[in-house]
Each structure stands twice: as C-alpha cells, then as structure tokens.
Amino acid sequence: MSRDTHTLPFGVFSETPDGPRRVGVRVDDLVLDVGALDLPHAADFATASLNAFLARGRAHWDDVRARLQELLAQGTDHLLPLAGLTLHLPVEVADYVDFYSSRHHAENIGRMFRPDSPPLTPNWTHLPIGYHGRAGTVAVSGTPVVRPSGQHKAPTDDVPTFGPSRRLDIEAEVGFVVGTPSALGTPVPLGDLAEHVFGVCLVNDWSSRDLQAWEYVPLGPFLGKSFLTSISPWVVPLAALADARVPAPPRETPVLPYLDDAEHPWGLDLELVVTLNGQEVSRPPFAQMYWTPAQQLAHLTVNGASLRTGDLFASGTVSGPERDQRGSFIELSWGGAEPLTLADGSTRSFLEDGDTVTITATAPGPGGTRISFGEVTGTVQPAR
C-alpha cells in the first residue's frame, strides 16, 4: 500500500503522556519522528511546539517538506505507530482571532436574534468581522469540555442569574496558523498569505449561547467563548492544498482595494463533517465561505497590527444553505425551536453532559486523492 507523502501534516507528540515532546509528521497511521532526522536546524524539532520551525519562514518550510518527501521515498526507520502516542497542542498560540465569515451562518444568527431587522449588519459584506479571543484557552483535541458557568438572563427574567450554561454549543471552524511574523505598522497584503501562514487545522470554538446572549452587547463575545477552543493536533501545510483552492462565492457588494481578491483567490474546497456521539449531524462546506483566509489576514493587519509566530486565526462557523450543512447546534435546532432527533430516538437542541462532538474534514488532493485533516474532538463534562 502506498503511503501519503503529499499531505505531511506537522504536530507534536510524546511516546508517553509525560515523556519528552518532539515534532512529528503524520504519514497515514504512522508518525515520522522528524527530530531523529538529519535536517537543517534539527534542534527546532526536539521541542514542545512547532514555533521554532515555523519562525524560519516559507523557504525553510518548503526545503524541509521536499527533504521529508525524499526520505520517505527512500525509506526510513524513524516511523512510529500513531496508536499509543500522546498528541499535544502543536503550536504555542501567540494571539487568537476568530472571524464570522460564513454568510449562511451570519444570516441564520441574524434571523434568530434580530427577527425585525435585516439578517446581516450593514458592515458585514464590506469587511470580515472578527473578535480577539483568549489564546491561553486554546487546547488540543481531546481536552475535556468543562461546562462553563456565568450570568444568563432570559428575556422573561427580571434580573440575571448565575449558574452552568444551559445552551452549550459548538462552532465547526477552520484555523490558520501563522509562522512568519510581520512588523508592527506594516499591513500584510492579500498576495502574501502563503508567506506568513504555514498551515491549516480544524477548530471547535465551543460557545455558551446563554452567557453570550446576555453579555455580548455592546462589545461582543467574552466569557461565552473564552472557556475553551479546541484545535486538531495536526497542522496541514498550506503547500499541500494547491488542488483545494477555489474562487470565493460571488459577492454583490464591491469591496475596498485591500480586500479585492480577484488576483488572489484563496477559497478552499474543504468538506467538514460534524458528529454527535458517533452520529453524523452536519456536513458544512468551507468552499462557500464569503470571506477567504487571505482577506481575513489582510483585514487583521490593515491597521498595522503585527503578526507573531504561533498566531491562530479561525474562519468562524462554517455553514451552508441546507439544514444538514449548519455548523452549530443553535442553527441545527433553530435556537432550540426545532430539536434534532438522533438515531436512538433522543433529541438535542444544545449539548448535554457526556456528549462527544467530533469534527473531521477532507479536501481534494493530487490525482483525485483526498487529503485528511484528522479530527478535533471533545466530550462535555459537568460544571465545576
């Protein structure tokens, strides 16, 4: 059986839970111990994150990728079975920004939250809306999802109350990992995405909809989002996704020049799959995202904000036009008014303790193959 030597996603592993961490590259159901190879700057790979490697920039990323493909073609003894290894957070996250770039998701939320107003706010088709999250609560797939507590107030309540979230949700997203930093005061243009972004991971931006609804006016997401964001342990290099690039969907609103991506189309044809307790509930299509990662990065830096190695920016919830393409339970259950019925006859509007949510994704690869992004998963635990 031929091995996948094209995708080559990077991560961090240890052979025991508390053992020394080092950089690995996944090859099917094996992990190539990169730190054991004779590569330039080999010390970068005997570390607890990808950051040292990422900081060296695109030319070095490409050189290492080419050398790994050569070594795998020749045969190497430094392959370990994935089963039994412990996987860790692949990057030391510097800053975390989450966008709101699916038109279908934004319109659904707008119809639910603002039924007497247009579903999109006036700025939505002019710029990628986003917020700064809490980098310290970005964690690797498999980290327990402890139900958050905080203030919530239903429209019929006179005063807010405190307690565990009753409307715990997911957001199926795609994340982009920055390697090469930028100088403070210098915007990053659309065409430079691949010079700064090393690769792509999967993201679940766990969300407490009742905490969020009470706190987000007028400054936006805060405690309803900051308790946990899960990412997949493997980062797929942007260089592996040439066959997945597609134009963005048509836009009826002209954009300002710094967001005009006619010459830099960075839509990606990724198909996400969301499962709840092993049952598929949604297939969100990333190709239909209104704002691309190149536009997100350009807007993120247009005011002169600098990039740092390890920065993570996420797409926002990925949703399509059909019910079974929605990337959050608030959409799938339409705010709880239309609960999902699962195969065992149970229903869900939002997550219950003990529920496990897993997000996977694939993309077109060379020669009709499919690239896998692994998975990001989490199981809900009771509030503490």
CATH number where 15 lies:
2.30.30.230
What is the percent of the chain with per-residue pLDDT over 90, rounded to a whole number?
93
* Lookup: tokens for 357: 């949510």
Average predicted confidence (pLDDT) for the chain: 96
Residue 102 and residue 84 share a domain? no
Which pLDDT value is given to residue 190?
96
pLDDT in tens, 347-356: 999 999 999 9
Query: Is 299 considered catalytic here?
Result: no
Provide the residue range defining the domain that includes 26.
Answer: 10-88
Please tell me the distance from the alpha carbon of residue 176 to that of residue 268, in angstroms, as a whole number: 12
pLDDT of 2 > 80? The answer is no
Which pLDDT value is given to residue 220?
87
* pTM value surpassing 0.95: yes
Which pLDDT value is given to residue 197?
98
Contact between 308 and 95 (Cβ < 8 Å): yes
Residue 369 and residue 262 share a domain? yes
Which pLDDT value is given to residue 125?
97
DSSP string of 97-135? EEE---HHHHHHHHHHH-TTS-SS-TTTTTS--EEE--G
Which pLDDT value is given to residue 219?
86
* Lookup: tokens for 78: 């430094």
- Tell me whether residue 172 is in a domain: yes
Which pLDDT value is given to residue 263?
93
Contact between 187 and 179 (Cβ < 8 Å): no
Q: Which of 60, 104, 105, 196 is catalytic?
A: 105
Residue 240 and residue 357 share a domain? yes
Residue 114 and residue 72 share a domain? no
The number of folded domains in the chain is 2
On the question of a cis peptide bond just before residue 382, with omega within 30 degrees of 0, the verdict is: no
- How far are the Cα atoms of 92, 155, 212, 215, 308 from residue 218, in angstroms, in the given order? 31, 17, 11, 8, 29
pLDDT of 324 > 70? The answer is yes
H-helix or E-strand spanning residue 175: strand 172-178
Binning pLDDT at 50, 70 and 90, where does residue 5 land? very high
Q: What is the mean pLDDT of residues 103-122?
A: 93
Q: Point out the domain boundary residue: 30, 63, 88.
A: 88
Please tell me the distance from the alpha carbon of residue 235 to that of residue 237, in angstroms, as a whole number: 6
pLDDT of 1 > 60? The answer is no
